[in-house]
Structure 1
Amino acid sequence: MVTASNKSRKDEKVKLSSVLNAQNAQLIEAFVDMLWLEKGLSQNTVNAYRTDLSKFALFLQDERVDDMLNVESFQVSDYLAHRLTKKLSQRSTARFLSSARAFYRYQISLKACNKNPIDHVSNPKLPSYLPGTLSEAQVEALLDAPDLSDAVQLRDKAMLELLYATGMRVSELVNLQMHEIGMLQGVIRVTGKGGKERLVPMGEHATHWIKTYLKEARAQLMTKPSNTVFPSKRGLTMTRQTFWHRIKHYAKVAGINTHLSPHTMRHAFATHLLNHGADLRVVQMLLGHSDLSTTQIYTHVAKERLQSLVQEHHPRG
């Protein structure tokens, strides 16, 4: 199924590649192919690298620099200034610098060039970002929103319960396969970024609702054979965009006016675990973060909890 966002990304790729010179286009495609084949990065991540590097190459071509391998640090600085005039976000600029550093490191490893023009360019200072989340009461309201008499909404109920119980990404949820659910052991095998697998406990509530859904609703959605746990109404693998719209629908039903993102339930999972005393490294493993620094966006929760514990239990709190 071709979604509007997938089509726009494809159109942008065609548009960018059509105006790049052949040498730069070949360099970028060889690099992103390596990312996909050797690093196992997702297609969305690979597309982001391609877009960042293509836009940089186009800027260089406009500046009469036709070879991406012959770039100086001042030209990178000129491009950053250009991005500033376009009022592009600091976060997207930081992503470009990360993409470009990786590109030039790869070229150096191939001995295609002998210096990385990004090495002496500082990353922009990003504002501290705390992910939006929901209170425990709001999550309960969201989980209670689906109409359980309807097969599609019973499927959605099981998906929401599993999302909150495991903290998995929406993309991981919609691609979940039947053989990855261990009902007797109460765990699921989640395939995350880069094809990395992790085992995550489901908990009693999620296990109950998945069993109920499998028994009462899944067969009604299976218009064709599939190993997907949560097929769409057409019996196909659901897109993450489709389920994101389902989440927004149930938030409206539940009267939740808080800004939501596709990761809101994932953030709620991590935040509520820490609120109830979970260790940050345990949360890291459950979320599938390879680096603890990624999980540390949630440390503000742990700090708040520590402060409340001190105030409650210390004699001079």
Structure 2
Amino acid sequence: MNALKAFTDYLILEKNYSALTVKAYTSDLAGFSEFLRDEYNSEEVCNTNYSEIRSWIVYLVEQHISNRSINRKISSLNSYFKFLLKVGAIESNPLSKHRALKTNKKVQVPFSKMEIDKVLDEFVFDESFEGIRDKLIIELFYSTGIRRIELVNLRLNNINLQSKTLKVIGKRNKERILPLLDCTLETINRYLECRNNMEDKMDKEHLFLTRKGVKINETLVYRIINNYFSKASSKVKKSPHILRHSFATHLLNQGADLNAVKELLGHSSLAATQVYTHNSISELKKVHVKAHPRSKK
């Protein structure tokens, strides 16, 4: 069997990676293979050495590819070598001693509660299928903290109106149950009524559809969030992830337990959740200074 085909099967069947993740891995490997062909007249990734990989890194830097993106490409390559090592196709990993390029940590600025209230409480959504759908999308992001791909893949049977919960299939097919707020349930019922009245529903299973009756896509979801929040916020980045970030930050600011937020977000480790704590720390400082008896001394 072709080594690359065996690797992609391994990512899908054993690692339970999503189709988008597998596509990113194969794209990175194809890029390196193309570089080997152009520079070394070879496409044998299995037989490459660190010197050739380092030349590829230099080439990517010269193409003004960010260090973050380069690190991701090298990570894909490293995963491939680890797989080849595991199946006995190579004797050593040429990236075993490689150090990732330094990157500047991006500070994600969440929406303020005022900005979110402005969109959800002050902005008038159209009483159309799309208007109600858009409001529900925003409410779900902010009230549950789900990821964009998780929202896109939601099915009708993921909603339990009786228990007021939402079943979400996260990374590596991990399932988690999220509580739904009463205000969100009201919007869900309004949306379901509109959805049921659609004449042309090509997709019968997924929750969120386009006006043409097909499953919504990630690009449209991004545009919806960016469009509404452009009217309420001057922040540079206005995306579904910033809403997820706002969900976590606001919960922590209100004293929510870090482990509880970790479970809601579907993180596998606390380290992933702790990136959201920098804003809650600033809030705690304000409370501390305001309330502590010796703060004025």
Is TM more than 0.5 here?
Answer: yes
1:270-309 aligned within 5 A:
270-309=248-287
1:23-42 aligned within 5 A:
26-42=2-18
Is the 2:141–2:240 Cα contact (8 Å) retained in structure 1?
no
- 1:245 maps onto 2:233 in alignment: no
Q: Hey, what does 2:117 align to over in structure 1? A: 140
Is the 1:134–1:268 Cα contact (8 Å) retained in structure 2?
yes
CA offset at residue 309 of structure 1?
Answer: 3.1
Report the secondary structure of 1:75's partner residue. Answer: helix
Whole-angstrom CA distance in 1 between matches of 2:293 and 2:75: 48
Is the 1:163–1:266 Cα contact (8 Å) retained in structure 2?
yes
Whichever residue aligns with residue 50 of structure 1, its letter is T
Structure 2 gaps of 5+ residues are none
Whichever residue aligns with residue 80 of structure 1, its letter is I
Q: Hey, what does 1:101 align to over in structure 2? A: 78
Q: Hey, what does 1:57 align to over in structure 2? A: 33
1:253-292, CA deviations, whole angstroms, 9 ceiling, x for partnerless residues?
Answer: x343322123121111111111111122211111111122
CA offset at residue 74 of structure 1?
Answer: 2.3
- 1:257 maps onto 2:234 in alignment: yes
CA offset at residue 102 of structure 1?
Answer: 0.9
Whole-angstrom CA distance in 2 between matches of 1:42 and 1:67: 26
Aligned length: 291
Structure 1 gaps of 5+ residues are 1-22
> What root-mean-square deviation, in Å, do the aligned CA atoms of Structure 1 and Structure 2 show?
1.9
Q: Hey, what does 1:220 align to over in structure 2? A: 197
Whole-angstrom CA distance in 2 between matches of 1:286 and 1:132: 20
Moved >4 Å (runs of 4+): none
Report the secondary structure of 2:64's partner residue. Answer: coil
1:4-25, CA deviations, whole angstroms, 9 ceiling, x for partnerless residues?
Answer: xxxxxxxxxxxxxxxxxxx9xx
Instruction: Give the TM-score taking structure 1 as reference length.
Output: 0.86
Whole-angstrom CA distance in 1 between matches of 2:76 and 2:221: 29
CA offset at residue 214 of structure 1?
Answer: 2.2
Report the secondary structure of 1:69's partner residue. Answer: helix
Instruction: Give the TM-score taking structure 2 as reference length.
Output: 0.91
Q: Hey, what does 1:158 align to over in structure 2? A: 136
Whole-angstrom CA distance in 2 between matches of 1:105 and 1:158: 43
Is the 1:170–1:240 Cα contact (8 Å) retained in structure 2?
yes
CA offset at residue 222 of structure 1?
Answer: 5.1
Whichever residue aligns with residue 28 of structure 1, its letter is L
1:75-114 aligned within 5 A:
75-114=52-91
1:109-166, CA deviations, whole angstroms, 9 ceiling, x for partnerless residues?
Answer: 1110011111111001111222232111111122243524223201221221122100
Whole-angstrom CA distance in 1 between matches of 2:60 and 2:185: 48
1:52-81, CA deviations, whole angstroms, 9 ceiling, x for partnerless residues?
Answer: 111112222222444212222222222211
